[in-house]
Structure 1
Amino acid sequence: MSTLLQPLDWSPGGGRYLPATPGTVLWGELPCAGDDPVLTIDPGETVVIDTVSHEGILEDQGRAPAAFFAGHGITEVLRDALAVAAEVPHDPAVHGPHVVTGPIRVRGARPGDVLSMTVLDLRMRADYGIVSSRHGRGALPEQFPLEGAPVTSILARVEPMPDGGARPGASSPWLVGTMAVGPSDDRRVRFPLAPFLGTMGVAVAGSERAHSVPPGRHGGNIDVSLLTVGSTLHVPVQVDGALAYVGDPHYSQGDGEVALTAFEAPLRASVRFDVIPAAHLPRPGELWAETPDLLVPIGLDPDLNVAMRAAVRSAVALLTDLGMHPAHAYAYLSAAGDFAVSQVVDRVRGVHGKIRKADLTDLA
């Protein structure tokens, strides 16, 4: 019996369905104002969106996913991954690696508004994925991959918890990610699963598509691992209709994503799209996120130190909007706020803050 969640294999639990086909995805680019939407919705609608992982279909992996995964002992591959690899234009010298599904036009969204993208559900479409490192990239580009190889692609699996147990607090408590400890070693490391979409965002203004790797005010490849089910990303709208998209699915990622990629594997995402009009915003919108328990300010810059300062400024602004004096917000963040490195591998580095909503009950 197949363990794959193939395209069109879904149960309508609310929301429209957008498969990942050669006609509904971009590979290595993000939408711009000149792109036509593949779906148009009203604010407040939910869309069930299939995503395809770039790992296993890239040129340095042969651009032949069936053969690539067969070399790792995998005999079943998603049909949409095969179609994307065979039919979607992609030049690795020009384009980024990520496959994004969209764009989705949200009626009434205008520049100056904020598009709130809430992740309602994430379903793993496979029980395997890849973690890769490539020369010149990642946190230690001078050291990895080893032995001068251009790319190292390591298979990760989704497996039941040992002895049928559960991992309290995990997104998938009965399942874990596993990976061999060496090329010829049957022992495995086991780690929690926390699926999320590494790429969520809106189209950039103008007629030129953005590269899929560096994140920015448009969102894109932000790789904030907190954006699991129940989270919301708030993105400033830059073009009429927003032209939203999602992609870069992960089953897990450590803060930093040091080896260039994390546990990259395909997801089926249910996302609700809401519009906050500019007139309802206390100041021009900026990129930030939240979970049921946390406010998540985001800072981005090629310089990690500058990204950290940007995240702190964003955190102060969020708390000020909620009613704190800026100096007191700054002091609170030093006493009780947390800041983590989102990723150091996407040209533009990311830092995200973690502010507990429970600390702010007097501001409600």
Structure 2
Amino acid sequence: MILQPGHAVPDDAAYLPATTDHVLWGRLPCATDSPVLAIDPGDQVVIDTISHEGILEDQGRDPLAWFTAAGAHDVLEDAIALAASDHPRTWGVDGPHVTTGPIRVPGARVGDLLAIRVLETTPRVPYGVISNRHGRGALPGEYPLDGADVFSVFATVDDQGRGRLPLGPGTEATVGFDLHPFLGIMGVAVAGDRRPHSVPPGTHGGNIDINVLTAGSTLYLPVQVDDALAYVGDPHFAQGDGEVALTAMEASLRVRLGFEVIAREDAVEAFGELVGPMAETSQFLVPTGMDADLDVAVQNCVRAAIALLQARFGMDPRHAYAYLSAATDFDISQVVDQVKGVHARIRKADFA
């Protein structure tokens, strides 16, 4: 089933469709942006998101033609409308990502944490796209091959709910992989009147591409402007740590999210002084580190993990450092977004 705008929307939560007046394309919200929805802390929102793959200029900026040629039978109406619109965006200057929002959360103040709880992630289409373009990715001097500017692979969802992509052009043989839908972009508005580029992540969150942020997880973000002005986008069906080719299986999602505000004093007691995003799943506490230099990103993540263990469990920093070395995985979130990301997976059961 394809989830067109307004189709099969539950009636127990606010609904935010990804119409052209509800999205930004290539930039992220700042303090002067007007909210497209206001909710109270504790409320849930059902949000439509649009993947940028299939709508970009190097793919013809015609998703109906592009996806139909790739083998899709249905194409999202909101993706078609956005690509055909004069939505403000400069190709080659702004980023590729489409974000839905911003959402005003009254009561969120600078210094608080905004908790975004991922309750459901529902694919809107049975297909997605994985691209390597413009000399980007982990091997920018080697791929795409043959002097191509972009190479996009059309991937499908099979009857077992797994991803499928061909082994090569002209062959019907495929490789299958598990899907773990998540939002690559979750963030809060930055201070000032300048919208940040959608590609590099930062203390505001944004394009963090952390693949553990599936249904049941929570992302905590330091609020940077009053009322938070939250937004989401860059939907994925699947992504390996690193996202080495530049994009993973990018495909549009409908998500149900819950929003809560954690007062600064409570946030410091629970997490320490967070300077950037932190995630939590049923199994793990997930501090993050970011920097253009991957070595520094790792160091920042280790420091964040030590601070978290001190605040949450009263752990001596030397013992926390030792525990992290013995028992915690440090994963590369992505290496392709200018600012590289690392996240740690600290098992909560170890401290039961």
TM range (shorter): over 0.9
1:265-344 aligned within 5 A:
265-282=251-268, 283-286=272-275, 287-322=277-312, 323-344=314-335
> Residue 203 of structure 2 aligns with which residue?
217
Q: Which moved more, 1:320-329 or 1:216-225?
A: 320-329
Q: CA RMSD in A?
A: 0.9
Distance 2:217 2:187 in 1: 14
> Residue 60 of structure 2 aligns with which residue?
62
Partner secondary structure for residue 29 of structure 1: coil
Contact 2:135 2:144 in 1 (8 A): no
Distance 1:5 1:183 in 2: 29
Moved over 6 A (4+): none
Q: What is the deviation of 1:10?
A: 2.4
Establish whether residue 93 from structure 1 lines up as the match of residue 92 from structure 2: yes
Q: What is the deviation of 1:284?
A: 3.4
Contact 2:332 2:343 in 1 (8 A): yes
* Letter matched to residue 151 of structure 1: V
Partner secondary structure for residue 146 of structure 2: helix
Q: Which runs of 5+ in 2 are unaligned?
A: none
* Letter matched to residue 183 of structure 1: P
> Residue 40 of structure 2 aligns with which residue?
42
Contact 2:238 2:249 in 1 (8 A): yes
CA deviations over 1:85-132 (Å, ceiling 9, x no partner)? 111222122210000000000001111110000000000000001000
Partner secondary structure for residue 20 of structure 2: coil
Which of 178, 195, 201 pairs up with 2:181? 195
Distance 2:105 2:67 in 1: 37
Distance 2:80 2:340 in 1: 31
Partner secondary structure for residue 211 of structure 1: coil
Distance 1:86 1:236 in 2: 36
Distance 2:18 2:337 in 1: 24
Contact 1:135 1:142 in 2 (8 A): no
* TM-score, normalisation: structure 1: 0.94
Which of 219, 232, 253 pairs up with 2:239? 253
Contact 1:139 1:344 in 2 (8 A): yes
Contact 1:120 1:229 in 2 (8 A): yes
Distance 1:202 1:194 in 2: 24
Q: Which runs of 5+ in 1 are unaligned?
A: 162-174
Aligned residues: 346
Distance 2:103 2:324 in 1: 36
Partner secondary structure for residue 274 of structure 1: strand
Establish whether residue 345 from structure 1 lines up as the match of residue 352 from structure 2: no
Distance 1:277 1:10 in 2: 36
Distance 2:16 2:237 in 1: 20
CA deviations over 1:14-58 (Å, ceiling 9, x no partner)? 321000000000000000000000000111111100000000000
1:125-164 aligned within 5 A:
125-161=124-160
> Residue 73 of structure 2 aligns with which residue?
75
Q: What is the deviation of 1:13?
A: 5.5
> Residue 6 of structure 2 aligns with which residue?
8
Distance 2:298 2:159 in 1: 37
> Residue 355 of structure 1 aligns with which residue?
346
